[in-house]
Amino acid sequence: MSEKIRCDACPVMCYIAEGRAGACDRYANHAGALVRLDPLTVIENGAAAVPFMAGAETGAGAGAGANEWDGDIVRGDRPFVTAIGAGTTYPDYKPAPFIVSQEVAGVDMVTVVTEGIFSYCGVKVKIDTDRHIGPERAFVRVDGEPIGHVMTGEYGSKMLSLGGVEHLTGGTKKEGRVTCDALLALCNREAVTVQIDDGAEVIIQAGQPPVIDGTPERLMRVGCGSATIGMFAASWISHVDEVVVVDDHITGVLSEHEAGKQLDVPKTGIKMHGRRSTPGRYFQVAEPGTGWGGTHIEDPLSILKPFDPKVAWPGLRMLMVSTTGEQWGYYVLDAGLVPVPSEAPEAVQASAELIAENCEPSLCSVLFMGGAGGSLRAGVTTNPVKLTRSVKDTLTKVTVGGAQGYVWPGGGITVMADVLDMPSNAFGYVPTPALVAPIEFTLARADYAALGGHMERIVDVADVMGPKVRVV
């Protein structure tokens, strides 16, 4: 029986028997040699290097010669070696697995690629919905384990912060494992079902509509209630006397709103529940929920107080509509000034459809976020702080699996990238637990030398291409 070999690609340090893979399924024992199972991934059309590094008179791709620049900022006619399948640099002193040189528009560029073991990582999730999914700061759970929390909501979207070192390493063993599994699935564009404390069950998948308590969301709101009044006020003139756009945040009332005043809409005597902000804008007209405009109501008339009899009149026509146009109702005041549901004129129905038409599809967005620390930087240069400074000076471009990375200001290299911009299955894991994520650093060869880079490990891009390369 052949002896097991020890893998040093991550802190787990698996002993792997012949013909078997380690706990991460990324390294295996093949005839006594440690081999990488995932193919190195190359993007055929390339990612942006340093735009306009060369003059506009030079060609866009490698070997383009003196061809005139065709306006391609990305310079996409070149292979770009990603870190997907590259392997890690654990322990930290090792140079990155691949340090690749390639001429881009007459400039000798170097791309350093490595799969980082990210204990400090997570995802930010943007869920396009008006519906209430849970209060801010509420735990987000998978299999009963807390993996993150609800963040401050943004315009038309709910936000989640998932993962992070406290959930990966600071809780129970199960919490760390469940968190890692959920992050891996989300980053690889798979669906994950989460339960929010005092809130909804939500199915999240990058690039897909959220499913909230079993109902797929269709539309992202066109704006708050006040903004909707401002955008569509002109379409209601002569067809209705009053419009109320129901919204959990800012409910709009046409006759009181500045847009209505400038269009000479007369007062209607309408009275609203909630807290009046500025004219035509009301806060807290109802509790948050999954009903009209992100409120808990199913009957929009419940947010109205009795009309002022000194101002209102029988026959007054009123439209009540949600911020997506999916819910709407047309009412006429009877002799007692009570709103009565009535058949809507075609123009009124068309105005609700216009609101819906101007709403974007509701989607989930998943952005990977990680801190590039010791092993990543040491794999690039013998003086890691120089890499950080080079990134901040924009001499070095950071990408994640070939996707554009946003580097946060301040210390360190904290990078964020959209998982939909990466090839499929770009992420792995190690059971420490931590995610294994690709990261690439691209810069001019001269700048790489100035960093104290591992110059002796540079290879030409042509020498990287081979049977263990996946081209996407």
Residue 187: per-residue pLDDT: 97
- Band (47; pLDDT cuts 50, 70, 90): low
Q: Which residue has the higher pLDDT, 58 or 188?
A: 188
Residue 45: per-residue pLDDT: 62
Residue 35: strand pairing partners? 28
Q: If you ran DSSP here, which 8-state letter would residue 455 be given?
A: G
d(CA 439, CA 335): 70
Average pLDDT over residues 448-470: 86
d(CA 294, CA 288): 6
Compute how many other C-beta atoms are within 10 angstroms of the C-beta atom of residue 211: 18
d(CA 150, CA 157): 12
d(CA 338, CA 317): 11
Mind listing the pLDDT tens digit for each residue in 63-97? 434 455 554 444 455 688 898 988 887 777 788 88
Helices of type H across 104-172: 165-169
Residue 62: per-residue pLDDT: 39
Q: Which residue has the higher pLDDT, 26 or 102?
A: 102
User: How large is the greatest C-alpha to C-alpha distance in the chain, in angstroms?
Assistant: 97
- Band (56; pLDDT cuts 50, 70, 90): very low
Residue 68: per-residue pLDDT: 55
Q: Which residue has the higher pLDDT, 215 or 57?
A: 215
Mind listing the pLDDT tens digit for each residue in 207-244? 999 999 999 999 999 999 999 999 999 999 999 999 99
Q: Among 341, 426, 309, 363, which Cα is nearest to 47's?
A: 426
Q: If you ran DSSP here, which 8-state letter would residue 322 be given?
A: E
Residue 6: per-residue pLDDT: 83
Whether the pLDDT of residue 50 is over 70: the answer is: no
Conformational region of residue 293, where left means phi above 0, alpha means psi within -120 to 50, and beta covers everything else: left
Average pLDDT over residues 258-266: 96
Q: What is the DSSP string of 61-75?
A: STT-TTPPP-S-SS-
Whether the pLDDT of residue 52 is over 80: the answer is: no
Q: Residues 360, 223: contact at Cβ < 8 Å?
A: no
Residue 77: per-residue pLDDT: 57
Q: Among 55, 59, 54, 53, which Cα is nearest to 72's?
A: 59
Whether the pLDDT of residue 170 is over 60: the answer is: yes
Q: Residues 239, 347: contact at Cβ < 8 Å?
A: yes
d(CA 459, CA 7): 25
Mind listing the pLDDT tens digit for each residue in 310-364? 999 999 999 999 999 999 999 999 999 999 999 999 999 999 999 999 999 999 9
Residue 59: per-residue pLDDT: 37
Whether the pLDDT of residue 32 is over 90: the answer is: no
Average pLDDT over residues 426-445: 93
Residues 6+ apart with CB under 8 A from 34: 5, 7, 9, 16, 27, 28
Q: Residues 469, 39: contact at Cβ < 8 Å?
A: yes
- Band (195; pLDDT cuts 50, 70, 90): very high
Average pLDDT over residues 276-284: 96
At residue 369, φ and ψ (nearest 5 deg) are: -140, 130
Whether residue 91 has a cis bond before it, omega within 30° of 0: yes
Residue 64: per-residue pLDDT: 39
Inter-residue long-range contacts of 68-75, CB under 8 Å, 24+ positions, other chains counted: 73/48, 74/45, 74/46, 74/47, 74/48, 75/46, 75/48, 75/49, 75/51, 75/104, 75/105
Which residue carries 């081999």 as its tokens?
35
What's the CA dihedral at 246, 248, 249, 255 to 10 degrees? 20
Q: pLDDT exceeding 90 applies to what percent of the chain?
A: 69
At residue 166, φ and ψ (nearest 5 deg) are: -65, -40
H-run or E-run covering 15: strand 15-16
Residue 78: per-residue pLDDT: 65
Residue 72: per-residue pLDDT: 47
Whether the pLDDT of residue 377 is over 60: the answer is: yes
Q: Residues 162, 169: contact at Cβ < 8 Å?
A: no
Lowest mean pLDDT among 27-31, 75-79, 437-441: 75-79
Whether the pLDDT of residue 61 is over 70: the answer is: no
Average pLDDT over residues 421-442: 92
Q: Which residue has the higher pLDDT, 284 or 7?
A: 284
AA identity, residue 65:
G
Average pLDDT over residues 417-445: 93
Q: Residues 251, 282: contact at Cβ < 8 Å?
A: yes
Helix (H, G, I), strand (E, B) or coil at 268: coil
* Neighbouring C-alpha atoms within 13 Å toward the C-beta of 204: 35
Residue 105: per-residue pLDDT: 79
For the chain, the average pLDDT equals 89
Q: Residues 143, 197: contact at Cβ < 8 Å?
A: no
